[in-house]
Amino acid sequence: MMKWEDNVRRAVPYVAGEQPDRPGMIKLNTNECPYPPAPGVAKMARQMNWEQLRLYPDPDSGILVNALAEYHHVKREQVFVGVGSDDVLSLAFLTFFNSGRPILFPDVTYSFYDVWARLYGIPYITCALDENWHICPGDYCRPNGGVIFPNPNAPTGLLEGLDVVEEIAAANEGVIVIVDEAYVDFGGISALPLLNKYDNLLVVRTFSKSRSLAGLRVGYCIGNERLIRYLNDVKFSVNSYTMNLPSQRLGAESVKDEAYFRATTEKIIASRERTKGELARLGFTFPDSRANFIFASHAGVPAKQIYQALREKDIYVRYWDKPRISESLRITVGTDEQMDRLVKELETYIKKS
Ligand code: PMP
């Protein structure tokens, strides 16, 4: 050990899914969208005056905030944008989970939550999902320092009804409840209408999945004006210029094309439902996903083996060797052609096993 190492902030980082780039591969491991972003995004990129990059971008990301406020029929003071929803979530942890009491989130959920909690020294307690992977709302109705959960949840894909979200928001008036709606556009039910009733609620969204812009890094949240003000105070204490100019412009452009957005998400939903049928035929079981992925396990063949066999065929899915989930694979929904190839490879491998 070096002498100075005692004084280093130690972190156990989040492990992102791998980003292989091989011709012909099928990448179903990080819940990206298989279709391109809205055509207006590329058009705007071509029209952009790149000379403007010598200037700092608007620190308030006004063009994007306004586009989102208009889209969601909320005040611009209710919108906060960040560099992907990871940035928004990380700043929300730093801003709102500051009581010293443990925050609560599900035991099976987005594996970044415990990373931020540990980094910021926020105590946390995980609440076990029930045997059908559902949240038990009663677990979140005890003294705590805040609550966060995705809806639909990841990696299960399961949606909780608005009654569950409302029960949790209502039981936690003294703390912030964050609903991470990264996957809501694939048939979920948004908690946005509850914002009028609960000023302790924060809804977080991303452009990475349903808007096909994972590479641009755009996320946002909507909440009560006061809450957004606190979030901005922390953001402006860390980095004034989080969002670069192209992200602001291109993100705003994406919001304009509602028809394309709907067509893309509908295609994903249709492929997901088709794939569920195929996977069931092959003997897989899975929670009834409302996200752009399916969390599937097979009674006869270990998930780890399937994961490795698919890799050898250049098909990438996500596997975690962790308690409760080591028997499942999280398979992103791609195009119908990609899913057909996946099913074909699975069929061959399972028959052999
Ligand atoms: N929340 C959940 C539940 C996710 O699965 C992801 C994607 N890894 C994110 C947030 C973050 O996505 P992004 O930073 O690309 O917006």
CB of residue 185 inside a 6 A radius of ligand 1? no
Count of beta carbons in the 10 Å neighbourhood of residue 313: 16
What is the full DSSP assignment across 130-151? -TTS---GGGGSSS-S-EEEES
Q: pLDDT by residue (tens digit) across 289-336?
A: 999 999 999 999 999 999 999 999 999 999 999 999 999 999 999 999
Domains of the chain, start order: 21-36+259-352 (3.90.1150.10), 39-256 (3.40.640.10)
Atom 6, ligand 1: which residue's CA is nearest? Answer: 182
CB of residue 247 inside a 6 A radius of ligand 1? no
Going from the Cα of 154 to the center of ligand 1, the distance in angstroms, rounded, reads 9
| H or E stretch at 26 | strand 26-27
Q: pLDDT by residue (tens digit) across 250-270?
A: 999 999 999 999 999 999 999
CB of residue 180 inside a 6 A radius of ligand 1? yes
Q: pLDDT by residue (tens digit) across 110-147?
A: 999 999 999 999 999 999 999 999 999 999 999 999 99
pLDDT value of residue 353: 87
CB of residue 151 inside a 6 A radius of ligand 1? no
CA dist 19 and 12 (Å) reads 20
